[in-house]
Chains A and B, each alone.
Chain A
């Protein structure tokens, strides 16, 4: 092969390898994508809940997308504590008003934001942690009456799922 042909040969080799590489990489897409939740899993119906049986101070756990959702009928004092907490005390600063649609109803995902355990505090007999909300037994995260992280390894507040009030006593999550 003469030297003048070399750049051409190199160019063809490089193009062929690049094209082959791109082709092989794009073949990965369907396989990796197949590992994601399927359409049946994604198409989970929203959940409707009747709130009327819940007395003030009581809590209810419902399932949404396979995860527990905590619904808490907050007492006056619980609301006051949540409202009067200074944002400086919060690791993940968020106003209580940004987390509720109606002050007496708190709806949060009951999954600790640390490593996914279900925190205690739903039953009257449960320990509610140092801040009167929930306490995660796995690694000791404490949440307050607004579901905000106060102490422990969890990085963020309990997330608020999307929900709407259908009537005063009925909500739809999802």
Chain B
């Protein structure tokens, strides 16, 4: 590098600010980065409220970490003490009931926001090129979220905690030959017990922060391509965008306000409606509750697990149901992103959403004939959607010409 090249390079590092702001920014370029990525960042003008759920999910994550820290001050991770320490939080710790109910209900609302967020990605084609990695990081976070939620649910050491943990960890025993050895390695014992609750507590923390790390990657990849929008068309000019602040910040805050009002209603009036009453009974390794049901947000995947009459097959189906979704960017052959312009695929995606809710319903029912049948049909559609409909519909359907952002907004006004 010649000397003037070096001077030119150094100039690109100069801070645009002066004063204290400039002093900090020329040493730690965070201020200019935040301004570029969050204040001036151009966002398509045509975003609807579906686009607020990513931000809402992030608020939920922050809330979970904050409440988690305060719960951690009082919680004791051992088979002997765990249940009693949670009851102590509920009865004796000042505002402990509020912090724990917040933590428990925020998880549910985190999943609600995430489910809507994923549906948005499917319906408006946000997973398609060039946003494949945004989508894959998102699905990875979703899987970590499920792992973290599962680990967290075992911590209160109630009957559902214990038996949920037993059933889920036993999934690993389905692995041929080494399954039982792996299970012992994971639990540090022959059964779910003192050793398991101790390490589950550590992993619950670890994975929570792993999710935070992945949020960074999710946002970096998103900001390389910019947000998708209902038309699926990329903005053609500066006029088709607005700055992230104040337009998106205010809109997302508004959406978050309504979202958290609904959460507050559940939190203060029906704090246990999304939980299971059996979890207020201390874990008893000798008695299995009559109906073991996972938390509501696991039910669709639990239904897929039970739909397959073979142990290993069920486990494979359950895990691959999410992994397969990660292939969608490459299996969907259509050139058009948004379902607004895709007459057939649109109904496939809507049916996928309905199917998800149906699986959720049957996942909470006992494994009896009719429910097993429905869960088999639902599981079949799940994989049919990804592996058959996505490539096939792309070929067969004739999409409409996608509107530009400007035309879309005009057509909505008219």
Q: Spell out A's residues near B (CB within 8 Å).
A: 32, 35-38, 41, 61, 63, 65-68, 114-120, 136-140, 153-155
Contacts and interface: CB of A to CB of B under 8 A. Distances in A.
13 contacts: A35-B185, A36-B188, A41-B195, A68-B286, A114-B311, A115-B167, A118-B286, A118-B287, A137-B289, A138-B292, A140-B366, A153-B314, A155-B311
Contacts of B189: 37, 41, 66
A153 B311 contact: yes
A168 to B, nearest CB: 27
Interface of B: 163, 166-171, 173, 184-191, 193, 195, 199, 285-292, 306, 309-312, 314, 366-368
A118 B288 contact: yes
Contact of B167 (A32, A35, A138): A138
Nearest to B284: A118
Contacts of A35: 185-186, 188, 199
A103 B13 CA distance: 85
Contacts of B199: 35
A66 B188 contact: no
Contact of B190 (A37, A117, A140): A37
A118 B288 CA distance: 6
Contact of B163 (A65, A67, A117): A117
B167 A66 contact: no
Given A137-B288, A139-B306, A116 B167 contact: yes
Contact of B191 (A67, A114, A136): A67
Contacts of B292: 117, 137-138
B288 A139 contact: no
Contacts of A117: 163, 166-167, 288, 292
A136 B306 CA distance: 14
A99 B173 CA distance: 22
A40 B288 CA distance: 27
Given A35-B188, A63-B286, A67-B285, 13 more contacts: A63-B285, A65-B190, A66-B190, A66-B193, A114-B170, A115-B167, A117-B166, A117-B292, A119-B288, A120-B288, A136-B288, A140-B367, A153-B314
B196 to A, nearest CB: 11
Contact of A154 (B166, B311, B366, B367): B311
Contacts of A153: 306, 309-311, 314
Nearest to A114: B311
A140 to B, nearest CB: 5
Contacts of A66: 189-191, 193, 285
B285 A68 contact: yes
A31 to B, nearest CB: 11
A17 B287 CA distance: 53
Contact of B188 (A38, A114, A116): A38
Contacts of B167: 115-117, 138
Nearest to B292: A138
Nearest to A119: B288
Nearest to A63: B286
A139 B166 CA distance: 13
A138 B288 contact: yes
Nearest to B190: A65
A123 to B, nearest CB: 10
Contact of B184 (A37, A140, A154): A37
Given A37-B190, A154-B311, A116 B290 contact: no
B190 A115 contact: no
A139 B184 contact: no
Contacts of B314: 153
A45 B187 CA distance: 20
Contacts of B184: 36-37
Interface hub of A61, A116, A120, A154 (most chain B Cβ within 10 A):
A116
Given A35-B185, A137-B291, A116 B166 contact: yes
Contacts of A136: 288
A80 B311 CA distance: 30
A65 B167 CA distance: 18
A36 B287 CA distance: 26
A124 B186 CA distance: 36
B180 to A, nearest CB: 11
Contacts of B309: 153
A153 B309 CA distance: 5
B286 A61 contact: yes
A37 B189 CA distance: 5
Nearest to A122: B286
B312 to A, nearest CB: 8
B278 to A, nearest CB: 12
Given A66-B285, A137-B288, A41 B185 contact: no
A1 B98 CA distance: 70
A153 B287 CA distance: 20
B390 to A, nearest CB: 30
A99 to B, nearest CB: 20
B195 A37 contact: yes
A142 B353 CA distance: 34
A172 to B, nearest CB: 18
Contacts of A119: 288
A118 B178 CA distance: 23
